[in-house]
Structure 1
Amino acid sequence: MPAPTRAPGIAEPRIRYWRRPQNPPTGGMRDARPYRIGIRWGMASWMLEAPSCAVTDTVEHSFRQVLATRDLQFLPSTPLWVFLQWLAQQGFLLHGSPQGGLHELRPGDKAYGQPDEFSNIRGVYAASDGLWALMYALHGPNIQSKSDMGLRLRLPHGQWSEMRYFLSVAPRDKEVQDPRALLAPGFVYVLERQGFAPSPPYEHPGLGFVQEAHWVNPGSVRPLLVVPVSPADFVLPIRLHDADVVAARAKADPWGFPWLDSCSPPERR
């Protein structure tokens, strides 16, 4: 499979996660709509969008206290994924891992085997998106394989879509029917962008030009903050698939993501 074609002259898209209402409620967050599953321009039926949330001034003040003090006790009673998205909006990167107690993140010494060049760079990977980072933080020990996505699609006239997501997991035990039962508590490490490079936009043969929320640093990185997370913090539906079937289809067609005919329908949330 030839290397993907890079999109010339496309700037990194502006991060927009919040739609602040004109009259936000005092001290809380308003959920404008649940996740959507639908087909429209630039969006296949299996692509998911995050809930639209507005962060009030009171909630944002609490978030800034956490960031300034590195003390999670100042977190308000809002979902943790909202805090993670806010951190990404402020320019921080997020590294999800099942492993806690890491004082330094080091480049992995393994072959990633991805079809695009960027995803095979040896380094510390991070996301400029909270929900995508959660997919890695909540990776439980009973997951045999995982198919995941967090990206924007290039739309007409060069603009970029909102973030699109996908998550499907394969159980080690074939009897497991609930994909959410495979998730486990984990950790999201908050990192500064210094030393990281973003994934360039590229042409995905199946999706068109895409911009992944994907960053890599070839060196070691010390986190600013560690946020413990749980499966309840992941708000999007999850699919279940057969690891062997997907592996065979991915080998035959590396760009055929997400090989949906081998996946279950998404769970209802």
Structure 2
Amino acid sequence: MSSHNPWPDFWIPQPELHLTKKQLQHFETLEETFVASASGASIPFQTTQPQEKWAFLHWLSQRQPVLFHGSTHGNIECFEPRAPFDRSADDFSKQTAVYASSDALWAMFYAVLDRSIPVRFLNGALQFQQEDGWSRMHYFFSVDSLDEVAATRNPWHSGTVYILPAKGFEQQPPYTLQSHTVLEPHWASLAPVKPLAHITIEPEDFPLLHLVRTHQSEVIDQWAKLEPDGFPWLDSQGNAQTLPIHPSKN
């Protein structure tokens, strides 16, 4: 456990962001040219800096009420409400809805993970409640290390982050996770949503790619049955827990 925070260290804090005057001017131009027009156009973002696309999207979220949706599809003109395939225990995540994130980095994970490969994954983004308010955003990302199909291919590829208007969306209420009150940047709209703009994301644009963990889905499935609220089913040191051995009934 961290000596400064009451939550486990395997929750990755959001990277710090320091923008230059030149970057801010560039971001303002992109916002005025592509986002304000709400045409759904692709933003021609040219950069050699790995974190700059995330920096732009994060900066944009602080400027106006927008949300993000990461996808492997780059030509979506309108998002229609759909019933998700979701293993979460909460009802919010099971609505027939359009889902989006107020945190760009979380959406980027969904953009760069190649889900045409049937690889199982765990992920989360949340803030922890503190005495003085909510903490900075924290993340957890993990892919199945033993998936036979994924093992033969790189599960990362280029994708798209869509910028959506926040109007009409509702945020998932806070809930308790392992004795902590947490808030996810998870939003849902029951009505169709047209994107304001979108941007192509490469794996190297995702700042936490090198911190994605691995797990064995068969073990996680068993833990999920034993402790439904135990996500991500690690010990306090961030190691996989050994499944309990039950004595034979014979």
TM beyond 0.5? yes
**Is there any run of 5+ residues in structure 1 with no aligned partner, and where?**
1-36, 264-269
Could you give the per-residue CA deviations for residues 214-253 of structure 1, whole angstroms, max 9, x where no partner exists? 1110111000111110111111111011122212221322
Could you give the per-residue CA deviations for residues 157-196 of structure 1, whole angstroms, max 9, x where no partner exists? 2411110111001153278399xx3222111000011110
Q: TM-score, normalised by structure 2?
A: 0.81
Q: 1:211 aligns with which of 174, 183, 207?
A: 183
Q: Find out whether 1:246 has 2:220 as its counterpart.
A: yes
**Paired residue secondary structure (2:199):** strand
Question: Post-superposition, which runs of at least 4 consecutive aligned residues in structure 1 deviate over 4 A?
Answer: 74-78
Written as runs of structure 1 = structure 2, the 5 A alignment for 1:92-171 is: 92-140=66-114, 141-155=116-130, 157-171=131-145
**Cα distance in 2 for residues equivalent to 1:176 and 1:168:** 14
Aligned-residue Cα RMSD (Å) equals 2.4
Q: Find out whether 1:68 has 2:32 as its counterpart.
A: yes
**Paired residue secondary structure (2:68):** strand
**Cα distance in 2 for residues equivalent to 1:202 and 1:119:** 13
Deviates more, 1:91-100 or 1:138-147: 138-147
Amino acid at match of 1:243: S
Written as runs of structure 1 = structure 2, the 5 A alignment for 1:1-269 is: 38=2, 40-70=4-34, 72-73=43-44, 78=49, 79-90=52-63, 91-140=65-114, 141-155=116-130, 157-171=131-145, 172-173=147-148, 176=151, 181-204=154-177, 206-236=178-208, 237-260=211-234, 261-262=239-240
**Is there any run of 5+ residues in structure 2 with no aligned partner, and where?**
35-41, 242-250
Could you give the per-residue CA deviations for residues 88-109 of structure 1, whole angstroms, max 9, x where no partner exists? 2223100011111000011123
Could you give the per-residue CA deviations for residues 115-170 of structure 1, whole angstroms, max 9, x where no partner exists? 12222222011111111111111121335211111110001x24111101110011
Higher relative contact order (CA 8 A, sep 6+): 2
Amino acid at match of 1:232: E
**Cα distance in 2 for residues equivalent to 1:251 and 1:174:** 25
- Aligned residues of 1:196 and 1:215 also touching (Cα < 8 A): yes
Number of aligned residue pairs: 223
